[in-house]
Amino acid sequence: MIELPTCPDFRVDGKRALVTGGSSGIGLAAATALGRAGAHVTLAARRSAELGNACAALRDSQISCDFVVLDVTQSADVDAAIANALPYDILVNNAGMNRPVPLIEQNDDEIDQVFEVNVKAAFYTSRAVARRLLAANRPGSIINISSQMGHVGSPGRVLYCASKHAMEGMTKALAWELGAKNIRVNSICPTFIETPMTAAMFDKPGFRQWVCERIALGRLGRVDEVMGAVVFLASSASSLMTGSALMLDGGWTAA
């Protein structure tokens, strides 16, 4: 009798997941996906009312959930929040922002803010989560919500592209630092998805058409289309994958 290989498990039962920016958009979708796949999820963001509402909705859906009010750009607060909790097996670095204007119009505050949230915060959370996992000798999965803009350039997005390219570099290098301890680090790179972050962009006449013409599928992405990738990267189904980027870009970067 031929012995068939065992199919990988997409469940994450018994795992603990921290999702930054988990109260909205892609982060809430990631938290929902991980919760439905069996994980306990902790949402982290700044606005407590939004966190409470998101957590209540997850619990209504029989998902084990809590939340922490946390500005992920504050290194000491990140360290304290993660040190005071049980170790997280899964970290989704999702909190992010964009200030899309041409570089010649970009001010210093915007440059600082985008790098604080999109780059430095992911360093702080990854460092704190990895420290706990290494101390407990546990495997883990760090998932960076990057962007197709971590792989290409685009007008009005010099700052955002630079921040997401930095996240891609961090993903690759950290995968090497943590790989021997079975802590994997990967990124997810979505195309444009309608969320609070992109709402103002799509209010601009012609922008939606400009975007859709650059997506092979001819349409924007949806938050639910990120959920499968999150579960895949969090679970043992992706056990051989680290330092990689999953493109969820509808074909944008295949042009």
| Binder among 94, 171, 235, 238 for ligand NDP (CB under 6 A) | 94
Nearer to ligand NDP, 38 or 190 (CB): 190
Q: Are 168 and 209 in contact (CB under 8 A)?
A: no
Task: For residue 117, state whether it binds ligand NDP (rule: CB under 6 A).
Answer: yes
Q: What is the DSSP letter of 181?
A: G
Closest CB 176 distance from ligand NDP, rounded Å: 23
Nearer to ligand NDP, 71 or 110 (CB): 71
Nearer to ligand NDP, 136 or 210 (CB): 210
User: From CA 154, how far away is CA 241, in angstroms rounded?
Assistant: 28
| Binder among 21, 38, 140, 250 for ligand NDP (CB under 6 A) | 21
Tell me the residue nearest to ligand NDP as measured from the CB: 96
Task: For residue 50, state whether it binds ligand NDP (rule: CB under 6 A).
Answer: yes
Strands 90-93 and 245-248: unpaired
Nearer to ligand NDP, 37 or 114 (CB): 114
| Lookup: tokens for 118 | 């999109």
Q: Are 171 and 145 in contact (CB under 8 A)?
A: no
Nearer to ligand NDP, 87 or 190 (CB): 190
Strands 90-93 and 16-20: parallel
Task: For residue 124, state whether it binds ligand NDP (rule: CB under 6 A).
Answer: no
The edge-to-edge listing of strands for the beta sheet with 16-20 is 65-69, 40-45, 16-20, 90-93, 140-145, 183-190, 245-248
Task: For residue 72, state whether it binds ligand NDP (rule: CB under 6 A).
Answer: yes
Q: Is 247 helix (H, G, I), strand (E, B) or coil?
A: strand
Q: Are 177 and 142 in contact (CB under 8 A)?
A: no
- Residue corresponding to tokens 């101390």: 135
Task: For residue 162, state whether it binds ligand NDP (rule: CB under 6 A).
Answer: no
Q: Are 36 and 63 in contact (CB under 8 A)?
A: yes
Q: Are 9 and 237 in contact (CB under 8 A)?
A: yes
Task: For residue 42, state whether it binds ligand NDP (rule: CB under 6 A).
Answer: no
Catalytic residue from among 67, 88, 124, 160: 160
Closest CB 174 distance from ligand NDP, rounded Å: 17
Binding footprint of ligand NDP on the chain (CB under 6 A): 20-21, 23-27, 44-47, 50, 70-73, 94-97, 117, 145, 147, 190, 192-193, 195-198
